[in-house]
Chain A
Amino acid sequence: ETGVTQSPTHLIKTRGQQVTLRCSSQSGHNTVSWYQQALGQGPQFIFQYYREEENGRGNFPPRFSGLQFPNYSSELNVNALELDDSALYLCASSPAALALSGANVLTFGAGSRLTVL
């Protein structure tokens, strides 16, 4: 059973640029959530995808967008990067049945560390 894999592991961008982060969910999981973790803070919910549609969103502006593909993998896109976007971006997957029942047991990837200069 493979876990959640994310790419790239590290990247550096400049302010105003755009970035795409990728995530492959754990085998058997078809719900993907994205979290932003600033240094020294807990993960903050960005959005969740289920059946290729956004299924909940946190307090993040529209320049944060995502996609989910038929194989349940997902992308996080951030446009017009700002300095405050520097963070560890975590992808987490969960079995859809658990997600819909209200218990959201998440399996996290190791994250993509984004630095915006």
Chain B
Amino acid sequence: GENVEQHPSTLSVQEGDSAVIKCTYSDSASNYFPWYKQELGKGPQLIIDIRSNVGEKKDQRIAVTLNKTAKHFSLHITETQPEDSAVYFCATLYPGTALIFGKGTTLSVSS
């Protein structure tokens, strides 16, 4: 079945710096790649997603890039703020099944 590897598991940055989280997947048939943010005591919340026919998507300070040949995709957060501190999960959708999640990255932004 599909497997998603996410790195790093923890990431600490200074406020204003950029943060990058990377995920690799195993099945080339995967066609949808969302990123979720989970704050303490809450469920995961979708922050950005990309489909297989697009290479990059940006929404204000957040961007996602997809390299289908290499089977990896990345989340980029620029000008980080303390409220960006949370656990971030990547996921992939293999057609006909459910979302498969990575193990998460704990992002800490210090001011």
SS of B interface (majority): strand
CB of A41 within 8 A of CB of B46, answer no
Q: State the CA gap A90–B43 with chains docked (Å).
A: 7
CB of B98 within 8 A of CB of A105, answer no
Interface flags, A46-59, vs B, CB<8A=1, else 0 = 00100000001010
Q: Could you say which of A12-20, A61-69, A73-81, A106-114 contacts chain B?
A: A106-114
Interface flags, B15-41, vs A, CB<8A=1, else 0 = 000000000000000011010100001
CB of B44 within 8 A of CB of A102, answer no
A residues 11-59 with Cβ under 8 Å of B? Answer: 33, 35, 40-45, 48, 56, 58
Chain A, Cβ-Cβ closest to B94: A102
Q: How large is the interface on A (under 10, 10 to 19, 20 to 34, 35 or more residues)?
A: 20 to 34
Q: Min CB distance, B40 to chain A, in Å?
A: 11
CB of A45 within 8 A of CB of B104, answer no
Q: State the CA gap A114–B50 with chains docked (Å).
A: 33
A71 within 8 A of B: no
Q: State the CA gap A4–B45 with chains docked (Å).
A: 11
Q: State the CA gap A48–B100 with chains docked (Å).
A: 13
Q: A102-B31, A102-B32 are in contact. Are A45 and B44 (CB under 8 A)?
A: no
CB of B98 within 8 A of CB of A108, answer no
Across the interface, A45 reaches (CB within 8 A) one of B42, B51, B96, B99, namely B99
SS of A interface (majority): loop
Q: State the CA gap A100–B99 with chains docked (Å).
A: 13
Q: Min CB distance, B94 to chain A, in Å?
A: 9
CB of B44 within 8 A of CB of A105, answer no
Q: A42-B103, A111-B43 are in contact. Are A102 and B96 (CB under 8 A)?
A: yes
Which residues of B are at the interface with A, using a C-beta cutoff of 8 A? 4, 6, 31-32, 34, 36, 41-46, 49, 51, 89, 91, 93, 95-104
Pairs A–B under 8 Å by Cβ, sample size 28:
A4-B43, A35-B101, A40-B103, A41-B103, A42-B4, A42-B89, A42-B91, A42-B103, A43-B44, A43-B99, A43-B101, A44-B101, A45-B98, A45-B99, A56-B96, A56-B98, A90-B43, A102-B31, A102-B93, A103-B31, A103-B32, A107-B46, A108-B36, A108-B45, A109-B43, A110-B41, A110-B42, A111-B43
